[in-house]
Structure 1
Amino acid sequence: MTSYNPKDWIRFIFFISKADTIRKLFPIMILIGIYSGIIGYLELVYWHLPENSYVKNISVMHSMLGFVISLLLAYRTNTAYDRWWEGRKMWGALVNSSRNLALKLSAILTTESDRSFFRKIIPGYASILQKHLDDSDTAKQLFDDVDLEIDHHKHKPNQLAKMLFQKVNDLYVTKKITGDQLIIINNELQSFTDICGACERIKNTPIPYSYSAFIKKFIFIYVLTLPFAYVFILGYYVIPVVVFIFYVLASLELIAEEIEDPFGTDANDLPTKKIAENIKKHVEEII
């Protein structure tokens, strides 16, 4: 995730970061500019269309559809941001659950071997979840002093959650914790799986294909018809105008595409790896 100062207008305007959509759109922007120039040449020079040509009235369609496309893009970006923000809330909840569980176990446990187990496994769950959502491989042996074999053919976060529950149950069976204490820490243990499920729901349920495809086609057709009408008003200045309109509309769609899946390594994705590292640091301080 890109760190920035929201008040630094100069940097925003005059510098192009790796997250700027112009990097991805630049090739097609060039093509749109060439296309607009060709349409302008055909209408003004080759066909010699008069000022009262019906082609000029195509701008009426753009006026009518401009409001529609703005609503579609507003809904698209809002929906994508809701997914991004929900993912951030889930990871915030994971931070709180990890801290609360560590605080409770720190007060309950007296044996160093038990404390060491949870000192490694609690932040280990966040690390495994981060890699699980990023679809990257997880090391079979996470810790030097904890025998943790991860089966890559099974659900990795569930394996760690099962180990946590099994360890807590063993503590209860051996009378190291009471039934009341088991109930006290149960909410945090259960929340790990709830958070994992919520994150998987965000990642595995994209925006419906038909909706995303329709917006792209709508933008493309809308932009391709712009030069036909506005070349009468702007002449060859229609080239930068159409390119800029395409840049604005397509950028909104690109931004929505990127943030609708907040778990990854893109510039605007959530810093899940950093959050997992902070959880490890905080848990080790507590236990």
Structure 2
Amino acid sequence: MISYNPKGWTAFVFRFHKADTFRQLSPLLIAIAAYAAAIAYLELEYWDLPDESHVKNISMMHGILGFVISLLLVFRTNTAYDRWWEGRKLWGSLVNNSRNLALKLNAIVEDEKDRAFFRKIIPVYASILDKHLKDEETSKQLAENITLPNDPHTHRPNQVAKMLFIKINELYKHQKITGDQLIILNNELQSFTDICGACERIKNTPIPYSYSAFLKKFIFFYVMTLPFGYVFNLGYFVIPVVVFIFYVLASLELIAEEIEEPFGLDANDLPTTKIAENIKKHIEEII
């Protein structure tokens, strides 16, 4: 995730980074410019269409469809941002729940071996969930004397959660915690799995294909027909105008694509790895 000063206008305008949409769209922008130049030449020089030509009225269509495409892009951007923000709230809940569990265990558990176990295993859940959402390989050796099953197809966050549940149940069986304390701790442990499931829902449920495909086609044909009508009023200036319009519309779609799946490695994705590291730091301070 990119750290920045939201009040720095100059930095926004003149700063380019690897995820900037202009870099990604450069080949298409050049192609659009060449296409607009070809249409302008044909209409102005080769076909020599008169001002009263019906082709000039094509711009009326763009005025009508401009409102429609703006609504579609607003809905698309808002939907993508909602997914990004929901992911951030889920990881914020994971931070709080990890702290709450550690605080309660610190007050309840007295045996140093048990405390050391929780000191290691609670941060591991966040780290494993981070790698799970990014489809990265995880080590079987989580910590000293703590290993995961050998089966690579097992759900790793569930395995870590199972270790936590087993350990809490052992404490109860050995009467190191009471039944009331078991119920209190159970709520915190259950929240881990709830957060994992919600994150997986975001990751595994993309925007419907038909909607995404239709929007891209709409933008493409909208921009491809722009030079035909506006060349009468703008002449060859239609080239930069069409390129700029395409840049704005396509950039909104690219931004939405990037943030709708917030658990990847893109520049604007959530800093889940850093959040997991902070959880580890906080848990070690508490227990």
Q: 1:174 corresponds to which residue?
A: 174
Corresponding residue for residue 228 of structure 1: 228
What's the TM-score once normalised by structure 2's chain length? 0.98
Tell me the distance in 2 between the aligned counterparts of 1:59 and 1:37: 17
Question: Does the CA contact (< 8 Å) of 2:140 and 2:147 recur in 1?
Answer: no
What SS is found at the alignment partner of 1:142? strand
Q: In the TM superposition, what is the alpha-carbon distance from 1:216 to its structure 2 partner? A: 0.1
Which residue in 2 is equivalent to 1:88? 88
Distance in structure 1 (CA, Å) of the matches to 2:139 and 2:54? 66
TM-score using structure 1 length: 0.98
Which amino acid in the other structure matches residue 81 of structure 1?
A: Y
**Matching residue of 1:214:** 214
What is the deviation of 1:14? 1.3
Alpha-carbon deviation of 1:137?
A: 0.6
Deviations 1:249-279 (CA, angstroms, capped at 9, x unpaired): 0000000000000001101100000000000
Judge conservation of contact 1:172–1:182 (CA < 8 Å) in 2: yes
State the distance in 2 between where 1:150 and 1:14 align: 50
Give distance in 2, aligned partners of 1:147 and 1:59: 66
CA deviation after TM superposition for structure 1 residue 145, in Å? 4.4
Shift of 1:146: 2.8
2:282 match: 282
User: Aligned letter for 2:48?
Assistant: H
Deviation, structure 1 residue 143: 1.4
Contact 1:90 1:195 in 2 (8 A): yes
1:248 is displaced (CA, Å) by: 0.2
- Once the two structures are TM-superposed, the CA of residue 11 in structure 1 deviates from its matched residue by 1.1
Structure 2 partner of 1:113: 113
Q: Deviations over 1:57-95 (max 9, x none)?
A: 000000000000000000000000000000000000000
Amino acid at match of 2:120: K
AA matched with 1:67 = F
After the TM superposition, which residues 7-86 of structure 1 pair with which residues of structure 2 at under 5 Å, given as runs?
7-86=7-86
Question: In the alignment, does 2:239 pair up with 1:245?
Answer: no
CA separation in 2, counterparts of 1:284 and 1:148?
22
Aligned residue identity for 1:187: N
Whole-angstrom distance in 1 between the partners of 2:14 and 2:257: 24
| 1:99 match | 99
Separation in 1 of the partners of 2:221 and 2:23? 22
Offset of residue 152 of structure 1: 1.7
Distance 2:243 2:62 in 1: 15
Q: Residue type of the partner of 2:184? A: I
Counterpart of 1:132 in structure 2 is: 132
Aligned to 2:141: 141
- CA shift digits 1:159-187 (9 cap, x unpaired): 11111001100110111111011011111
Alignment partners' CA distance in 2, 1:87 and 1:15: 27
Give the RMSD, CA atoms, in angstroms.
Answer: 0.9
Q: What's 2:199 paired with?
A: 199
Partner amino acid, structure 2, of 1:172? Y
State, as a whole percentage, how many aligned pairs show the same letter.
75
Give the Cα–Cα distance (whole angstroms) in 1 for the partners of residues 200 and 146 of structure 2.
27
Work out whether residues 36 and 242 of structure 2, in 8 Å CA contact, stay in contact via their aligned partners in 1: yes
> Is the CA contact (8 Å cut-off) linking 2:19 and 2:267 kept in structure 1?
yes
Structure 2 CA distance for aligned equivalents of residues 72 and 272 of structure 1: 30
Q: Deviation at 1:151? A: 3.2
Deviations 1:205-242 (Å, cap 9, x if unpaired)? 00000000000000000000000001111111111000
Is residue 2:122 matched to residue 1:122? yes
Distance between the aligned counterparts of 1:77 and 1:147, measured in 2? 42
Contact kept in structure 2, 1:150 and 1:159, CA below 8 Å: no
Structure 2 gap segments, 5+ residues each: none
Partner of 1:183: 183
Aligned partners of 1:150 and 1:280: how far apart in 2?
25
The Cα of 1:149 is off from its aligned counterpart by: 4.1
| TM superposition shift of 1:150 | 5.5
The CA distance in 1 between the partners of 2:23 and 2:143, in whole Å, is 41
